[in-house]
Amino acid sequence: MQTLKVAACAAVFQSVIVVAFPAGAQQAPEGYPADYAGIVTAGIKEGSVNVYSPTDSEQADGLISGFEKAYPGIKVKWNDVASGAVYNRVVSEAAAGQVGSDVVWSNGLDLQLQLVEEGHVETYKSVEAANIPAWAQYKDAAYSTTVEPIVFMYNNKVFTDSVPKNHKELADLLVKKGAELQGKVTTFDPEKSASAYTVMENDVVNDNGFWTLIDAFGKAKGKVYSSSGQLREKILSGEHPFGFNVNGAYAKGWAKSNPTLTVVYPDDYTIAASRTAFISKDAPNPNAAKLFLDYMLSKAGQTAVAEAGLPSVRSDVTADNWDSVNKEAGGKLVPIKLDAALLEGLQATKRGQFFKDWKKALNQ
Amino acid sequence: MNDLIVQDIHMHLGALHVLQGTSFTASKGQVVALLGASGSGKTTLLRTIAGLEIPSKGRIDISGTPVFDSSKNILLPPEQRNIGLVFQSYALWPHKTVAENVAFGLTIRGTNKSEIGKRVQEMLEKLGLGHLGDRYPFQLSGGQQQRVAICRALVYQPKVILMDEPLSNLDAKLREEARYWIRKLILELELCAVMVTHDQDEALAMADNVLLLKGGSIVQSGSPLEIYSNPKNRYTAEFLGNNNTLDGNLSIDGSKAVVSGETWSISGVMPEGVANANGKAASAIVRVEKMTIHDQPGPNRIAVNLDASIYLGDHWEYRLSAPGVTLKAQGSVRREPGNVWCELPADDVWIFSKAS
Amino acid sequence: MARTTADATGFRFAALAALGILVLSPVLLILYQSFLTGPFFSPLSTLGLDAYVYIFTDSDFYRALSTTAIFALGTIVVCVPLGAILAFLLTRTDLVGRRWLEGVVLVPMFLSAIVLGFGYTVAVGPTGVVTLAFERLFGFVPWNIYGLWSLMFISGLMHVPHVYLYSSAAMRNLPGDLEEAARTSGAGIWTVARHVTWPLIMPALIFSIGLNVMLAFEAFGLPLVLGDPAGVLVLTTYIYKLTTILGVPSYQLMAVVAVVLLAIIFPLVFIQRKLLSRARRFATIGGKGARVTRIRLGKGGQIAAWIGIGIWLVISIVLPIGGIAIRAFVDAWGAGVNLFDHLTLNNFQQLFSIAALQRGIINTLLLSVVGGALAVGAYLLIALAGHRWSGPGNTALDYMVLMPRALPGLIIGLAFFWIFLFVPFLKPFRLTLLSLLIAYIIVGLSYGLRLIQATLMQVAPELEESGRSAGATIKQTWSRIVVPIIRPGLLGAWIMIMIIFLREYATGVYLMTNGTEVVGSLIVSLMASGSLDTIAALALISVVMTTGGLVLANRLGGRIHE
């Protein structure tokens, strides 16, 4: 039924194209190789592109409309797939021989790479690859598209202590004023959120005092939550006025509309999380998928994403980008690289050890 | 002393005035029957006494205690009225055994356990149910269920017992038996009983005092004998017994009233008094069993044609007709169809003007 | 053969089989998955007990299991007596304002638990509006909404409508003379309730207990919001952890926990059936269908009842919905915030800028109104199939009714996602609302079917028998006599199912796709990006819409309860 619909759509668009482009052939976008025109023509013929993403369509709005404007005739079908459900959806559909996604764009970096390893991803060297930093690319298949600094956020009306500027100061504060700060500090729960786990894994790498921090956090009866929404609400209301490992891309927007909230970029290191995109193997619209992925990585696409609050990995984008975020972070921005370390984090033994330590620190 | 006084009870259901100032009294060892057609308000009246319906006006005393008095704002809930109520459906609790059903009223009153056991067993035995205490209601026959319902209402020795059509769910044979033993039980226990019935035989057989209701008012009350043989109005006359009705014109001659039809005229008494209705339409009503058949004319006899004789076991019924009239009479012998005279004894003929 | 048609056995078995397929296919899939070492569709998976070993040696599992059992018990201890009292007051007494209350008592059901939890946080959380005001006035706060005690208390209050709904339906069914007989024997109102009314509606109460045990075992939203911050781990939040704890989603572990949840069904339904085996004692006795005279509470009684109901209303409706309403109109709240400085309508404007949300609202309305009607139709067919049908069929029905309730919505959604993906002839329907509808029908089964079954039982057998003796077949009797008689009951069930479908959130998480978004599941993704302003506005709109729908239905003559 779905394929029927797609075919029907394609037929309609084809006739539209014939009217719009009497020449019948497409031009490649500026700077792209000439044979790209073939992909454009084929993509338009396909008529639509299915995107699976936990990023809600509100935030992706600029990206979608920008793409549809750049390639009239290709409709973006946005699928709101919860972060924990992306992997399942992709592997299940592949196993059933009913791949539904063209492009998958998720903040679950480790599982995105796992999907590459499991062969669910189409290898495609993006024409924009040269403009994307190396840490943001994996095996010519997966590309990180955003820079989302992991920051501290606090409620400046309620949290009146001297504000810790880095992880060490936070740990010290928790040790020193543990009694006063009982239940006042919060963070993302790595047991319930895969991306929170990935971030903490990087914390462990970047900060040899990390377990001291978690230990002090546990002693101070710190609270953990499983979604940005809960974190934000708890800090906003002053229930837990201080939070660490908050997604700074969101936090910056919240602080802008809410003067009560202040964002701190830890000055020892600031991890940059991201969301990674790839083209699915056996994608129903493989050409449109390429167009969309390239557009996401292009200056125009990156600008659209950055303007929606998710800073760009490209330095030539005038909106928030790697450089501007890095400047705010005092040059201490550390990206989560798309590499084997991410995959190691998925190993049961490594995870088991982490969670054992985590629980021990927390349940005291 | 009257155990039950019901005084000027009014009740409204929406715009409907279902009880229109009903009053009566009853004392112990007495059975009052509330008799009436359906919709006459008899069940509603009973329920107001029980406290299940709230009248808008009036006063009810039970055993000398006012349980309802609209002028003094007194309204006792049903559980404080110390009455026994037997429902038409018996309303036995299906989740309790027979013994538990009967024991309930005692338990509520805080009677101690051994006393309860004793009294429940006594009560059940009195009504021949001694062996059924452990059964559940659905395991009993209709007659047994009815007796359980009565046990349940009597076990805590209320002064007043109310019964809503207590016999209507029994078959004819059982019903006749029950009339007798229930009345006997009431007299024996010196209860004051009020029962609702639509069956005149039941009312006449069981009650000391019959109240005939119509449209929420008492039409006539009195002993069974009085209400049957001395109806004060047309409704009472027609509601009870088997009757012949002859419609004609009234003429009044002194104290004597006569109703005349095309070919006949009958004299009788006017229980409602001699109204100024000379020449108006009127009806003569006479009980079937008072009619006699004769072979020649005589006083207060009318010439009729005997159409048929019907055999009814203990007697014959004759179907009679005259122009504009059909009548029934009874006799002990079969009669051949033909011309006869039937006599309506003047003292037993009640004449009511048509308007009433 | 003649007998077969007379009993409609063919139809009965067909309906039972259809239900069996719908209920058992996800159940069996999960059972199968629990015995594998990986996803069932992966060629690398083999049969094995690894998942069971993992779960049964995990101390967190036992902690979660025992906490959940205590939580379920606590919920029941609170909700069953209160629901039964409420039903008694509203159906049997002359409580002032009862007509109005009949609708209001259902309001706690309007909100999904997760939204409700946030409402509480805003109202009476540590920095809640009420909490801060109380602290200002008295200098201390005597409550803490986090922890097992408050979780049980709030969950108990939330589930009062569930008990109320089933017991009030049964009470309306009860001939009034049974209670009047107790009154005239000298019993006061509460004695009547204790000795007559409640024992007689025992089947409804026992079903409510069973249902609420399952609801407690399956509850996710409230334990997440109110339990998690205090470290209270229940089975559903434990499942949540399992999805990430091993890195790659480990469905076999989730499946094992789901199997444990399913296993709870069997003793529960067994006890239920045992308790009701002498059901005949509870069967309604013909009755004259006379007007029920309401018990007069008197002035003191009215006041006492209203104080109790008032407290319940405040805690279970005013606080959470008030919290959501406040949150919908401000952009900041909590300690040190003057709400009046932060009033805004922006939260509502955001709603209209999200295309998926607009589709979601339309889909949700479609699913709940049209889908709800279809669901009620399906439940009716199943209920008729089991109606006055003794034998193994009915036993199977009893178990199958509660089975879907044992599975968390997320897992049912996942199972149906797989079924629609891997069963060849279902493929075309996966990307349509139909897949959601079928999952929803299963989720709503225990609520809806039992309501309709109860309504069917109200039809006196004589009415059906007279139809049969007048020459109608059993199917004609059903369609010409039974169904028209229970039409108000069906309307009530429809409204109830609509409410449940409106607030459902977990089931759609795996199933929804572009074009089939539903509001409940969109809330889950909004939560991830932190848009609680939008969520509050959305939740408030849905409460207003549901209330409006309910009032309208009431006006149109449908009564919720019959």
> Any CB–CB contact under 8 A between B225 and chain C?
no
Per the CB < 8 A criterion, the answer to whether C351 and C357 are in contact is yes
With CA atoms as reference, report the closest residue to B292 among B282, B283, B284, B302: B302
- φ, ψ of residue B253 to 5 degrees: the values are -125, 95
Same domain, B208 and B131: no
Interchain contact, A191 vs C530, CB within 8 Å: no
Which member of C177, C185, C189 has the closest CB to residue B152? Answer: C185
Rg (CA), chain B: 25
**A20 band by pLDDT with thresholds 50, 70 and 90:** very low
Interchain contact, C528 vs A95, CB within 8 Å: no
Which chains does A contact via 3+ CB–CB distances below 8 A? C
Same domain, B280 and B329: yes
Contacts of C208-211 spanning 24+ positions with Cβ under 8 A: C208/C79, C208/C80, C208/C83, C208/C162, C208/C163, C208/C166, C208/C167, C209/C76, C209/C80, C210/C268, C210/C269, C210/C272, C210/C402, C211/C162, C211/C166, C211/C402, C211/C405, C211/C446, C211/C447, C211/C450
| DSSP code for B316 | E
A and B make contact (3+ CB pairs below 8 Å): no
Interchain contact, C184 vs B152, CB within 8 Å: no
Pairing state between β A276-280 and A121-122: antiparallel
Task: Tell me the per-residue pLDDT of B128-162, one tens digit each, with 9 for 90 and over.
Answer: 898 999 998 888 888 899 889 999 998 988 889 99
Q: Is the pLDDT of residue C560 over 60?
A: no
In a domain, B87, yes or no: no
Q: Is the pLDDT of residue C286 over 60?
A: no
Q: What is the pLDDT of residue A187?
A: 95
Average pLDDT over residues C107-121: 84
Q: What is the pLDDT of residue B355?
A: 62
Choice between C310 and C393, residue whose per-residue pLDDT is larger: C310
CA–CA distance, B322 with B247 (Å, rounded to integer): 12
In a domain, B321, yes or no: yes
Highest mean pLDDT among A282-296, B50-64, C168-182: A282-296
Q: Please give the C-alpha separations between residue B52 and each of A110, B45, C2, C180, C185, in angstroms, as whole numbers.
A: 74, 10, 50, 7, 12
Q: Which residues contact C392 (CB under 8 A, 6 or more apart)?
A: none
Average pLDDT over residues B252-265: 82
Per the CB < 8 A criterion, the answer to whether C403 and C265 are in contact is yes
Same domain, B307 and B260: yes
The CATH code belonging to domain A2-146+274-329 is: 3.40.190.10
Interface B–C counts its CB contacts (< 8 A) at 95
CA–CA distance, C61 with A344 (Å, rounded to integer): 26
Interchain contact, C244 vs A194, CB within 8 Å: yes
Q: What is the pLDDT of residue C2?
A: 32
**B276 band by pLDDT with thresholds 50, 70 and 90:** low
Task: Tell me the per-residue pLDDT of C409-447, one tens digit each, with 9 for 90 and over.
Answer: 888 888 999 999 999 888 888 888 999 999 999 988 988
Candidates 3.40.50.150, 3.30.390.10, 3.90.960.10, 1.10.3720.10; correct CATH number of C61-237+260-284+294-337? 1.10.3720.10
Other beta carbons within 10 Å of C476: 13
Q: What is the pLDDT of residue C283?
A: 46
In percent, how much of chain A has pLDDT > 70?
93
What mean pLDDT is reported for chain B?
Answer: 89
Same domain, B263 and B347: yes
C288 interaction partners in chain B (CB closer than 8 Å): 88-89
**C562 band by pLDDT with thresholds 50, 70 and 90:** very low
Same domain, B187 and B211: yes
CA–CA distance, C359 with B157 (Å, rounded to integer): 72
Same domain, B52 and B196: yes
Q: What is the pLDDT of residue C470?
A: 66
CA–CA distance, B247 with B232 (Å, rounded to integer): 19
Same domain, B213 and B344: no
Task: Tell me the per-residue pLDDT of B288-301, one tens digit each, with 9 for 90 and over.
Answer: 999 999 999 888 89
Task: Tell me the per-residue pLDDT of B168-216, one tens digit each, with 9 for 90 and over.
Answer: 888 888 888 889 989 999 999 899 999 999 999 999 999 999 999 999 9
Burial C354-377 (b: 16+ CB within 10 A, else e): bebbebbbebbbbbbbebbbbbbe
Burial C163-197 (b: 16+ CB within 10 A, else e): bbbbbbbbbbbbbbbbbbbbbbbbbbbebbbebbb
Does domain C7-32+346-562 fall under CATH 1.10.3720.10? My reply is yes
Interchain contact, C185 vs B91, CB within 8 Å: no
Q: Which two tokens stand for residue C124?
A: 């009476």
Cite the DSSP H helix spans in chain B: 42-50, 98-108, 113-126, 142-154, 172-188, 200-206, 224-229, 234-239
Q: Closest chain B residue to C286 measured between Cα atoms?
A: B89
> Any CB–CB contact under 8 A between B94 and chain C?
yes
Flag the least confident range among A186-190, C1-5, C328-332, C449-453: C1-5
Task: Tell me the per-residue pLDDT of C190-233, one tens digit each, with 9 for 90 and over.
Answer: 888 888 888 888 888 888 898 899 889 888 888 988 888 888 99
CA–CA distance, B228 with B246 (Å, rounded to integer): 19
Pairing state between β B243-253 and B256-260: antiparallel
- Collapsed DSSP state (helix, strand, coil) of residue B354: coil
- φ, ψ of residue B12 to 5 degrees: the values are -120, 140
In a domain, B332, yes or no: yes
Interchain contact, C336 vs A231, CB within 8 Å: no
Name the segment(s) of chain A with CATH classification 3.40.190.10. Answer: 2-146+274-329, 148-272+341-362
Q: Closest chain C residue to B138 measured between Cα atoms?
A: C281
Per-window interface: C 110-129 vs A, CB < 8 A: 118, 121-122, 125-128
A84 interaction partners in chain C (CB closer than 8 Å): 243-244, 249
Q: What is the pLDDT of residue A3?
A: 42
Q: Which two tokens stand for residue C414?
A: 């996942």
Same domain, B136 and B45: no
Q: How far apart are the first and last CA of chain B?
A: 37
Interchain contact, C183 vs B77, CB within 8 Å: yes
Task: Tell me the per-residue pLDDT of C293-348, one tens digit each, with 9 for 90 and over.
Answer: 677 888 888 999 999 999 999 999 999 999 999 989 988 888 777 888 888 888 88
> Any CB–CB contact under 8 A between B54 and chain C?
yes
Cite the DSSP H helix spans in B208-323: 224-229, 234-239
The owner of tokens 């229970």 is: C486
- Collapsed DSSP state (helix, strand, coil) of residue B195: strand
Q: What is the pLDDT of residue C557?
A: 54
Average pLDDT over residues C172-178: 79
Other beta carbons within 10 Å of C483: 16
Average pLDDT over residues A51-72: 90
Task: Tell me the per-residue pLDDT of A198-223, one tens digit each, with 9 for 90 and over.
Answer: 999 999 999 889 999 999 999 999 99
Q: What is the pLDDT of residue C296?
A: 80
CA–CA distance, A174 with A152 (Å, rounded to integer): 14
Q: Which of B95, B135, B159, B162 to mutate to test the interface with C (most CBs of C within 10 A)?
A: B95
**C471 band by pLDDT with thresholds 50, 70 and 90:** low
Per the CB < 8 A criterion, the answer to whether C503 and C521 are in contact is no
Task: Tell me the per-residue pLDDT of B98-109, one tens digit each, with 9 for 90 and over.
Answer: 999 899 889 888
A235 interaction partners in chain C (CB closer than 8 Å): none
With CA atoms as reference, report the closest residue to B338 among B304, B315, B310: B304
Pairing state between β A103-106 and A48-53: parallel
C177 interaction partners in chain B (CB closer than 8 Å): 87, 89, 91
Flag the least confident range among A192-201, C359-368, C393-402: C393-402
Q: Is the pLDDT of residue A80 over 80?
A: yes
Q: What is the pLDDT of residue B174?
A: 83
Q: What angle do CA C360, C361, C367 make, to 5 degrees?
A: 85
> Any CB–CB contact under 8 A between B294 and chain C?
no
Q: Is the pLDDT of residue C460 over 50?
A: yes
CA–CA distance, B67 with B49 (Å, rounded to integer): 9
Same domain, B35 and B176: yes
CA–CA distance, B181 with C48 (Å, rounded to integer): 78
Per the CB < 8 A criterion, the answer to whether B346 and B267 are in contact is yes
In a domain, B277, yes or no: yes
Which member of A89, A228, A347 has the closest CB to residue C529? Answer: A228
Highest mean pLDDT among A150-154, B44-48, C479-483: A150-154
- φ, ψ of residue A7 to 5 degrees: the values are -60, -40
Interchain contact, C245 vs A191, CB within 8 Å: yes
Pairing state between β B316-322 and B256-260: unpaired
With CA atoms as reference, report the closest residue to A101 among A83, A124, A131, A81: A81
**B275 band by pLDDT with thresholds 50, 70 and 90:** low
Interchain contact, C184 vs B50, CB within 8 Å: yes
C-alpha distance from B192 to closest chain C C-alpha (Å): 15
Task: Tell me the per-residue pLDDT of C229-251, one tens digit each, with 9 for 90 and over.
Answer: 888 999 988 988 887 777 788 88
CA–CA distance, B103 with B117 (Å, rounded to integer): 8
Per the CB < 8 A criterion, the answer to whether A98 and A2 are in contact is no
> What pTM was estimated for this model as a whole?
0.80
CA–CA distance, B179 with C252 (Å, rounded to integer): 75
Which member of B79, B88, B96 has the closest CB to residue C187? Answer: B79
Burial C203-238 (b: 16+ CB within 10 A, else e): bbbbbbbbbbbbbbbbbbbbbbbbbbbbbbbbbbbb
Same domain, B141 and B162: no
Q: What is the pLDDT of residue B226?
A: 93
Q: Please give the C-alpha separations between residue A9 and each of A4, A159, C315, in angstroms, as whole numbers.
A: 9, 56, 53
Q: What is the pLDDT of residue C292?
A: 61
Per the CB < 8 A criterion, the answer to whether B56 and B12 are in contact is yes
- φ, ψ of residue C549 to 5 degrees: the values are -60, -40
Interface A–C counts its CB contacts (< 8 A) at 182
With CA atoms as reference, report the closest residue to A294 among A130, A139, A133, A147: A130
Pairing state between β B243-253 and B281-287: antiparallel
C-alpha distance from C536 to closest chain B C-alpha (Å): 46
Rounded to 10 degrees, the C-alpha dihedral C365/C369/C370/C374 comes to 140
The CATH code belonging to domain A148-272+341-362 is: 3.40.190.10
In percent, how much of chain C has pLDDT > 90?
25
In a domain, B128, yes or no: yes
Q: Which two tokens stand for residue B201?
A: 């035989």
In percent, how much of chain C has pLDDT > 70?
91
A238 interaction partners in chain C (CB closer than 8 Å): 127, 334-337
Interchain contact, C293 vs B77, CB within 8 Å: no
Same domain, B7 and B43: yes
With CA atoms as reference, report the closest residue to B250 among B272, B284, B278: B278
Same domain, B192 and B78: yes
- Largest distance between two CA atoms of chain A: 75
B84 interaction partners in chain C (CB closer than 8 Å): 184-185
Q: What is the pLDDT of residue C65?
A: 94
Q: What angle do CA C224, C226, C230 make, to 5 degrees?
A: 95
What mean pLDDT is reported for chain A?
Answer: 88
Which member of C118, C249, C513 has the closest CB to residue A88? Answer: C249
Q: Closest chain C residue to B155 measured between Cα atoms?
A: C185
Domain that holds residue B100: 92-156
CA–CA distance, C81 with C86 (Å, rounded to integer): 8
Give the total number of structural domains in chain B: 3
Q: Which of A2, A3, A4, A56 to mutate to test the interface with C (most CBs of C within 10 A)?
A: A56
Task: Tell me the per-residue pLDDT of A95-141, one tens digit each, with 9 for 90 and over.
Answer: 999 999 999 999 999 999 999 999 999 999 999 999 999 999 999 99
In a domain, B9, yes or no: yes
Q: Closest chain C residue to B79 measured between Cα atoms?
A: C186
Per the CB < 8 A criterion, the answer to whether C76 and C213 are in contact is yes
C195 interaction partners in chain B (CB closer than 8 Å): 93, 104
Per the CB < 8 A criterion, the answer to whether B291 and B343 are in contact is yes
